[in-house]
């Protein structure tokens, strides 16, 4: 599907993402400076329900720029994500991010 976004929804998403990056950055910083590093690293499968390649790219990159996670592989309907902690591997939080990205998509007629 061609690139098409809802500009206002996309701006709201970017604002929300910046806040989430800040929260994740703080969580990763606490891990780095703690004496007892409590990592629960894992790979997780994250569904990608977006309809356009642009929106999938936004979702995959949003995961990667959020500290504690990185998208390491993309498939048509899901991503493989490396997570540093249990908190970063929260499927509900990732589903929420996915839903927010999907809301930015403009439907094509």
Q: Is 42 helix (H, G, I), strand (E, B) or coil?
A: strand
Pairing of strands 78-83, 69-74: antiparallel
The pLDDT, as a whole number, for residue 108 is: 60
| pTM for the full predicted model | 0.89
Q: Report domain extents, the chain.
A: 7-103
Q: What is the mean pLDDT of residues 3-14?
A: 89
Q: What is the mean pLDDT of residues 31-51?
A: 89
Helices (DSSP H) in 1-109: which residue ranges? 7-33, 53-65, 91-103
Q: Are 49 and 96 in contact (CB under 8 A)?
A: no
Q: Fill in the DSSP letter of residue 35.
A: S
User: Hunting for tokens 């970017």 — which residue is that?
Assistant: 14
């Amino acid at each position: 599907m061609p690139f098409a976004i809802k500009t206002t929804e996309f701006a709201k998403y970017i604002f929300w993402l910046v806040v989430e990056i800040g929260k994740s950055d703080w969580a990763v910083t606490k891990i780095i400076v703690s004496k007892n590093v409590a990592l629960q690293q894992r790979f997780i499968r994250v569904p990608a329900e977006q309809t356009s390649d642009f929106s999938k790219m936004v979702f995959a990159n949003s995961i990667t720029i959020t500290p504690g996670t990185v998208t390491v592989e993309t498939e048509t309907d899901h991503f493989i994500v490396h997570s540093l902690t249990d908190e970063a591997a929260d499927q509900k939080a990732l589903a929420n991010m996915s839903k927010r990205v999907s809301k930015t998509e403009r439907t094509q007629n």
